[in-house]
Amino acid sequence: MTSTNKTNTPLSKFEEFFSTKYKDDLFKVLEQYPDDRSLVVDYLELELFDPDLADLLIEKPEDVLDASEKAIKNIDPLMSGADLNIRLENLTNNILLKKLLSKYIGKFISVDGIVRKTDEIRPRIETGVFECRGCLRLHEVEQTNSNLVTEPSLCSECGGRSFRLLQEESKYIDTQTARIQEPLENLSGGTEPKQILIILEDDLVDELNPGDNVRITGTLKTFREEKSRKFKNYIYANHIEQLEQEFEELQLNIEDEEKIIELSQDSHIYDKIIKSTAPSIKGFRDIKEAIALQLFGGTPKELEDKTRLRGDIHILIVGDPGMGKSQMLKYVSKLAPRSIYTSGKGTSGAGLTAAAVRDELGGWSLEAGALVLGDMGNVCVDELDKMRPEDRSALHEALEQQTISIAKAGIMATLNSRCSVLAAANPKFGRFDRYKSVAEQINLPSPILSRFDLTFILEDKPNIENDRELAQHILKIHQSDSITYDIEPELLRKYIAYARKNIKPVLTEEAMKVLEEFYVAMRSSTIDEESPVAITARQLEAVIRLAEASAKVKLRNEVLAEDARKAVQLQQTCLREVGVDPETGKIDIDIVEGRPPKSERDKLQKVVEEIKELQDEYNGKAPVSILTTNLIDQYDISEEKIKEMIKQLKNKGAIYEPSSGHLKLV
C-alpha cells in the first residue's frame, strides 16, 4: 500500500517524466549549469504524460514546482546538486487580464499583455546567515518575506536571542518588478486597460523591455500594502514568452478565413473597403482610400547591411474645423486591430515616447508611451498642431527610423515604435487659405511635415449640391440611428489582420516600370534651373508602400501595374492639393515639406542682390525706401511682401539695420 502511494506522488511522477521524456534536454541544461539555470518544459507534453499531474500544477503550483525541482536533484545523472528552475511554456490556462479575479489567487495561469514599465534589478535575500552575539555560532535561516528579514528565534548553542546578519555570507537572488497592461486589441472603445504587477526572479530578470508584447506564465498571488492596508494582486513569473507584435493577435478561426478568402474574390473589394472606412462621414474618397491603404500597410524590409525600410504609411490631414477629422481618427482607432488614440492638447513628449519614472524604492525606470505601446499597430494623433514644439519633436525619430531613443535619468535605451501614424491638424489661422503656402498655414516644422507620406487638405467650401447631400446623410443617421456597411467592421478588422499576417507582396516588372516612369517624369520637369524640385526619393518610397498596400487589399502576393497606378494617382492628388506654388502654378516639393518654395527663395535672393547694389551706391548702407521702390518697379513685388522678406532676412541674420531706414548685409 505504501509503495503504491509513493509511486503516485508528484515527486515520483516527475522523476519518471524527467528520466524518460526530458532526459536529453535535462542532460544538456545540466552540462551548461550554472550558465543555464532553467529547464523549459512544454505543459502539453506534461499533460499527455500525466493529466492529473498537469491539473494539480494549475491548482497547487508551488507544491508541484517544488516537487519537480527535487525530482531533478534525485535523478541528476551528473550528481552536480544543481538548483534548476522548471519553467512551463504553452500553458492552456490562459486568462484575460480583465478576468483575472480573486478566484485565481494561488493558481497557475498565463496572461498576455504589453510591458508598460520595468524597474531596476535588485538583490533579494534568499538565505540569511546570522551570527549569535553571545557565542558567535552561525545560523542559516531561509527568508520567505521579501520585505522583512526573519532572524532565528534563539541560538541552539547558548539560547541567546541577539543576532547579527552577515550580509556577505548570506545568499541572494536577483529580482525585478515589471508592469504589464492588457493588449490594445482586447480593449473595447474608451475602456481603461487593466494592469498587473509582475515579479521576475533569477534568470528571468532583464528579459523584458517597455513595449514588448509577452505571455507571462506564473502564479497569481496577493500582498497587503503597508500604507493603504489593502490587498493587491501580482504574478510571480515562471516563464516569459515573447509574442509576435502583429495584427494577427486577433484570433481567426477556419470559418473566418473562408469568409476572408471569399470576400477577396469580389471584383469590387477595393471600393467596398474604401466605403467601409468611416462610413458615417460623407465623401472624402481620396482620404478614405489612403486610410484604408494605411490600415493594410506596405511590406517592411531589412537589407543585408541591417538598414530597415519601413512599410508603415503615415498620413496627415489638415482641414477647417467641423470637417470630421477627429471622427475619422476615432473610427480608425476602433477599426484597426491594434491602435491607440491620443490628442495633441493633452499629450506630452514623454506620453508619446517614454517617461522616466521613480519606482517605490527611489530608482528610475522607463514607462512606455503611446508610440511604443502602439508598436506594430496604428497611432492616431489628433490636434497635432496644438502640441508644444518640444513635445512634437519626439515624433521626428519615430516617424522615419521607427525607433525611440531615450536618454533620461541615466537610462540609455532604444525602443521600437513600428507603427503607422494618422495625424490631424487645423490651419494656423483657423481656416485654410489657398493663396498662402501650406508651410505658412500649418503650425508644424518642416522635419515633421516631410516624414508624412500623404498630406491632405480639407476645405469647407459652400456648395448647394454637396451641402444638400451632406445634410441628408447626417439627418438620415440621426433619424434611423444606424449605418449601412458594405463590410461589417468586425469582419473588416479580421480581413486586415489576415492580410497583414499572410500577404507580403513583391513588385512585378510591370509595377516597377509604372513607378519608374512616374518618378522620372516628375523629376524631368525640374531639369532646368528655373524650375522647383517636384519630388524626391522619399515620395517614390511612399508610392511603393501604397502600391504594396493596394496589393494586400486584394490578398495578392504580387504588386501589379494597376496597384502602382492607384498609388501614383493618390500621390499626385496630394501633390496637386498641397504642393502647387500659387505664384508659379508648378509642383514644388519644398511646399509639401513645409519649406519656402523656390519662387520665395528667388525673391529673397533678389532682395539680397538689390541691397548689395544699393550698398555700393550709397556709402555701404542701402536705404529701405529706395530698395522698396526698386523691387516694386523691377519685380512687381508688393510692399507688404517686401516688408515680410526684410523681416525674414533679419531673423536669419543675413542683414541688419545699422541706422534707422537703412539696411546692410552681414
For 105-138, the pLDDT digits (tens) are 888 999 988 888 888 888 888 888 898 888 888 8
Distance set, CA 600 to CA 74, 140, 631, 637, 656 (Å): 83, 81, 14, 11, 20
CA pair distance 384, 398, nearest whole angstrom = 15
Q: Has residue 531 got a pLDDT over 70?
A: no
How does the average pLDDT of the chain come out, rounded?
Answer: 80
CA pair distance 547, 26, nearest whole angstrom = 51
Provide the pLDDT for residue 485.
Answer: 78
Provide the pLDDT for residue 511.
Answer: 92
- DSSP-assigned letters across all residues of 482-511: ----SS-HHHHHHHHHHHHHH---EE-HHH
Q: Over the stretch 5-14, which tens digit does the pLDDT of each residue have?
A: 556 788 888 8
Q: Which three cell numbers stand for residue 175?
A: 529580482
- H or E stretch at 206: none
Provide the pLDDT for residue 247.
Answer: 45
Q: Has residue 3 got a pLDDT over 60?
A: no
Q: Which three cell numbers stand for residue 174?
A: 536577483
- H or E stretch at 12: helix 10-20
The DSSP letter of residue 402 is -
CB 366 within 8 A of CB 358: no
pLDDT band of residue 4 (cuts 50, 70, 90) is: very low
- Mean pLDDT, residues 490-502 taken together: 86
Residue 301, CA atoms < 13 Å, CB-side half-sphere: 14
Nearest alpha carbon to residue 547 among 565, 573, 524, 534: 565
Q: Establish whether the linkage from the previous residue to 389 is cis, with ω within 30° of 0.
A: no
Residue 421 or residue 349, greater confidence: 421
* % residues pLDDT > 70 (the chain): 87
Nearest alpha carbon to residue 181 among 212, 204, 206, 207: 212
List of domains in the chain? 2-89 (3.30.1640.10), 101-243 (2.40.50.140), 254-502 (3.40.50.300), 598-665 (1.10.10.10)
Which three-class secondary structure state does DSSP give residue 181? strand
* Among 265-274, 351-360, 445-454, 547-556, the least confident range: 351-360
Provide the pLDDT for residue 362.
Answer: 61
Q: Which three cell numbers stand for residue 177?
A: 518588478
Q: Has residue 197 got a pLDDT over 80?
A: yes
Burial of 252 (0-12, 13-18, 19+ CB in 10 A): middle
Q: Which three cell numbers stand for residue 234?
A: 501580482
Q: Has residue 558 got a pLDDT over 70?
A: yes
CA pair distance 453, 315, nearest whole angstrom = 6
Nearest alpha carbon to residue 120 among 483, 381, 321, 363: 363
* Among 223-227, 266-270, 371-375, the least confident range: 223-227
Provide the pLDDT for residue 662.
Answer: 81
Q: Has residue 453 got a pLDDT over 50?
A: yes
* Among 128-132, 276-280, 451-455, 463-467, the least confident range: 463-467
Amino acid making up residue 523: R
CB 320 within 8 A of CB 431: yes
CA pair distance 335, 273, nearest whole angstrom = 12
CA pair distance 104, 43, nearest whole angstrom = 19
Provide the pLDDT for residue 245.
Answer: 47
- Mean pLDDT, residues 545-563 taken together: 92
Provide the pLDDT for residue 208.
Answer: 83
Residue 118 or residue 430, greater confidence: 118
Q: Over the stretch 209-251, which tens digit does the pLDDT of each residue have?
A: 777 788 999 999 888 776 667 788 889 999 998 875 444 446 6
* Among 240-249, 382-391, 396-405, 437-446, the least confident range: 240-249
Residue 274 or residue 434, greater confidence: 274
- H or E stretch at 648: helix 639-652
This prediction's pTM: 0.70
* Unique residue bearing C-alpha cell 546570522: 130
